[in-house]
Amino acid sequence: MRSPRRCSRNGCPRQAVATLTYVYNESTAVVGPLAAFAEPHTYDLCEPHARSLTAPRGWDVVRHEGEFEPPPPTTDDLVALAEAVREAARPVTPRPPEGDENLNPAPQTGRRGHLRVIPPSH
């Protein structure tokens, strides 16, 4: 699965739960729930950084009043997990009897995207 979005603050390893957007023509910084997609002119923040953000002098901060919750897993993550489980559950082809190794070579590892299934050794 893909790793969750991280806080944009330098050196912060926490998971992002809020999005910061600057509205320059109104001199306003808006901190709201995490946006569905990362966009070029927004910043993802963890909860401590979202709660403690200050704006430049003369600017206003509009902050989400509710709880910041981590985002649910994306469908891409769930699909990748389901495909990995399906791939691992596929039956392994039976081994040939002794002496017939050249007829059916050893099973190979399967690869789908960033996941790899390794057949069990007998």
Instruction: Reply yes or no on whether the pLDDT at 99 is more than 70.
Output: no
pLDDT of residue 1: 41
pLDDT of residue 114: 65
Computed from CA positions of residues 46, 32, 59, 26, in that sequence, does the dihedral angle turn out positive or negative? Answer: positive
pLDDT of residue 103: 55
Q: Please give the span between the terminal C-alpha atoms of the chain, in angstroms, as a whole number.
A: 29
> What pLDDT digit, counting tens, does each position of 31-74 carry?
999 888 888 889 999 999 999 999 989 999 999 887 877 766 65
pLDDT of residue 31: 94
